[in-house]
Structure 1
Amino acid sequence: MAIQPDVLQTLKPQPYDSIREVVRDGDLLLCSANDGFSRLIRWATRSPWSQLGIAFRLEEVDRVLVLECVEKIGVRAVPLSTFISRTSSGVHPYPGKILLARHGAMAAKTRRKPWKKMAAFAFQRLGDRFSQAETFKIALRIAVSRFGRRLHPSLGPKDEFICSEYVARCLKAVGVEVPWDGLGFVAPSDIANDPRVEAVAQIRTR
């Protein structure tokens, strides 16, 4: 089922230690934040969701990492504990709420077979940075989405993404397509509205 609009009010926040134990490879971190760029995303999509990350467990070193694509930095990986405690610009505590969610198609994936394709794409993009021109294209896609216009092919994402475009490409690597209306950009709300995505728990930010 899709993420319900009132999920952040109906799910009681759970502490980090309990959440860490249930996170699976490919789980989604949906954020509803109040910083400037987050407000822009929420304005463009008329939804509470402003940021999105994807989780991977590294059992060999006992770490849970969140990969995300953020303004001014590009694609980065941070420990889950860092992701829920501060923004990419260092604002602490995290100015908003975070939901752990799971795509139903991931239950059928294994790390040994097609699953590796997702991890390979996700980690291959680490360190990709945005130029000013790429950041402008992203902002333009957001504005186009707000006013319901279709996107000219030249403005589509190539190696520059916002967070949800990055996660959508990770999912696509294992044959999972995110349904969206083709207006502007794939938004966090598009992934939250996918009927195959369900809420797991709200994470207590700190």
Structure 2
Amino acid sequence: MTVPDRSIETLPALDYEAMRAALRTGDVLLCSGTQIFSRVIRWATRSPWSHVAMVLRLDLLDEVMIIEAVEHYGVRLIPFHRWLTENKTKARVFPGDLVVARHRRFEERAQGEAMRHLGKFATSRLGTPFGAGEIVKIMVRIVAGHWNRRMPRLLRSDDEFICSEFLYRCYQQIGIEIPWNGLGFIGPDAFAKDPEFDPVVRLAHHAFDDDHPVNVR
């Protein structure tokens, strides 16, 4: 079906509690951010999408976690409520817009050994910050993507990823390929353009009830 750009405005808007209940493991959070690095990604991809992250539900612990690759930390795993509030502004709990997308075949593919492969790949990269040289490689790939340049092997991703490259590799572990043109880098927009992804809901701009603190679980 793909995730249209207008999903930012037209999807049903949920508050934190309702969205937390609706999320499933494997859901992709498509973000349209307003920070500097987010604007660079949007410029490079000519799309509103600047970041993607993936949901991991830990129902035994009553926790919803977000796994992602970010420029300051590398790959990290963080509770959903903290992920929403760590960069909040006065206007919004999340500095930008957030849409949930769901791959039609994720649940079918993410079974048994395949899910273990995904988990092992994702968690083995936790907690390793990018070095300066890795950041440079990432930035070159982003700029090359804007100009539709094919990436020399030397500058291709090894273990340093931007968010969408990391999720692309995660999905590969369960036999799902996210289509893209092979030029520059795979951007967040590739997930939105994949017809196997359906838009689900978006985050309300005022996601938390005024009567509750932002550190609720």
Structures share a fold, TM > 0.5? Answer: yes
Aligned to 1:123: 123
Deviation by residue 1:111-162 (Cα, 9 ceiling, x = unmatched): 4342222122111211121000000000000000111111111111000000
Aligned to 2:214: none
2:96 counterpart letter in structure 1: G
Deviation at 1:59, TM superposition (A): 1.4
The CA distance in 1 between the partners of 2:32 and 2:20, in whole Å, is 20
The CA distance in 1 between the partners of 2:103 and 2:122, in whole Å, is 16
Aligned to 1:31: 31
Moved over 4 A (4+): none
The CA distance in 2 between the partners of 1:59 and 1:5, in whole Å, is 32
The CA distance in 1 between the partners of 2:133 and 2:172, in whole Å, is 25
Contact 1:180 1:190 in 2 (8 A): yes
Deviation at 1:106, TM superposition (A): 0.5
Deviation by residue 1:2-47 (Cα, 9 ceiling, x = unmatched): 1012111111321111111121111111100000000000000000
Rg larger in structure: 2
2:162 counterpart letter in structure 1: I
Deviation at 1:94, TM superposition (A): 2.0
RMSD between aligned residues: 1.5
The CA distance in 1 between the partners of 2:66 and 2:4, in whole Å, is 23
Aligned to 2:213: none
Aligned to 2:133: 133
2:65 counterpart letter in structure 1: L
Aligned residues between the structures: 204
The CA distance in 1 between the partners of 2:110 and 2:185, in whole Å, is 29
TM-score using structure 1 length: 0.94
Matches within 5 A, 1:120-199: 120-199=120-199
Contact 1:100 1:200 in 2 (8 A): yes
Aligned to 2:68: 68
Say if 1:97 and 1:86 are closer, same or farther in 2 by CA, change over 3 A: farther
Aligned to 2:212: none
Matches within 5 A, 1:11-30: 11-30=11-30
The CA distance in 2 between the partners of 1:117 and 1:22, in whole Å, is 25
The CA distance in 1 between the partners of 2:82 and 2:204, in whole Å, is 12
Contact 1:67 1:77 in 2 (8 A): yes
* Unmatched runs of 5 consecutive residues or more in structure 1: none
* Unmatched runs of 5 consecutive residues or more in structure 2: 208-217
Contact 1:84 1:98 in 2 (8 A): no
The CA distance in 2 between the partners of 1:72 and 1:78, in whole Å, is 14
The CA distance in 2 between the partners of 1:123 and 1:190, in whole Å, is 23
TM-score using structure 2 length: 0.89
Deviation larger for 76-85 or 61-70: 76-85
Matches within 5 A, 1:56-95: 56-87=56-87, 93-95=93-95
Say if 1:73 and 1:110 are closer, same or farther in 2 by CA, change over 3 A: closer
